[in-house]
Structure 1
């Protein structure tokens, strides 16, 4: 691994940025990094976020790396850990935010390069799979927060918005029955239950309820 690491880093520094040859070498380096012993780890559930941000940093700053005795491998691990340590500490701060694989890591000329683009295209690495799982879990958590907010409706924005003379057909009830019941109900079914015209409910849902739900979703960083 020592010789392979030295050759890859030397090649990357020699290649023009951006270039296909340099990206290919970076691809191989990112895979090799995952095999390095001695990298800091953490039991924190969002550790892979910190590791992902560290890989982005490595790609942006690899030109600044300088090997020191006793070995390239040891020097590289120490260099990476110097950044990774702070990113792990960030996980324990309330303002920590995740940075996506889609975030540009280089801007040369008119071409933007992201970490996702320089990772191997033919197959997902273990890291990519874990990051994808992490992102999915976060989306699910955000979705659950939105659901809880709708069900509690603390500001009563949803429950107070309803067609005239039909408070039982308010936006909170519609949102829950159309999205959170198993199986979800159809508007036509709801209309039959409360004896109200489909047109009235459809119009209210589109003009009043959907904008309110979008506003709530935006509070939690979700799109609707």
Structure 2
């Protein structure tokens, strides 16, 4: 979209909710947004951009106030004026998008808290019993769970890949059995590995392509089915 058209759409969005929605949905079509976002935030872009679109749609009236723009008097057919509006709008959107990417990153790195009495086996065994029995394990068996309470309480628990992998193995069965109809490869365990364990997290578009599933189906399954199984990941 050229500067004049974007300027006009922004001006109309201030008074028309439908135009505000159209403006928000256009964000993903502006390549410059990703260019200004920075590579460090790109892994979170796919999940963050719907949040940013909602923020822009709801708060578009704040945009001109923040940059002291009087869009009622701006001449969108004037190249320099339209370019100035575009520059400030891009800066505003990128600022919101970075904040939303940060929120996505923070949620992805939040602890997974599992009760020590949570059943983890078909026989009803719990983490507490597993810890007690770990005294007899040899080096080739599952690593000991001593100090589990301390690890769970630490803020950077997810960064400890070895210990987190152990927790995932304990949850493996339930997560693996939850998947969209006809797409067993896109089970919650697989999505959890790609979106939480992997650093940086794999982008949703890449996951959808590799698992041969539509982007909407895989993200919907993650939010509706997988996250409730992991209470502390919103």
TM (normalized to structure 2)? Answer: 0.37
Q: Which structure is higher in RCO with an 8 Å CA cutoff and minimum separation 6?
A: 2
Q: Whose radius of gyration is greater, 1 or 2? A: 1
Structure ranking higher in strand proportion: 1
TM (normalized to structure 1)? Answer: 0.39
Structure ranking higher in helix proportion: 2
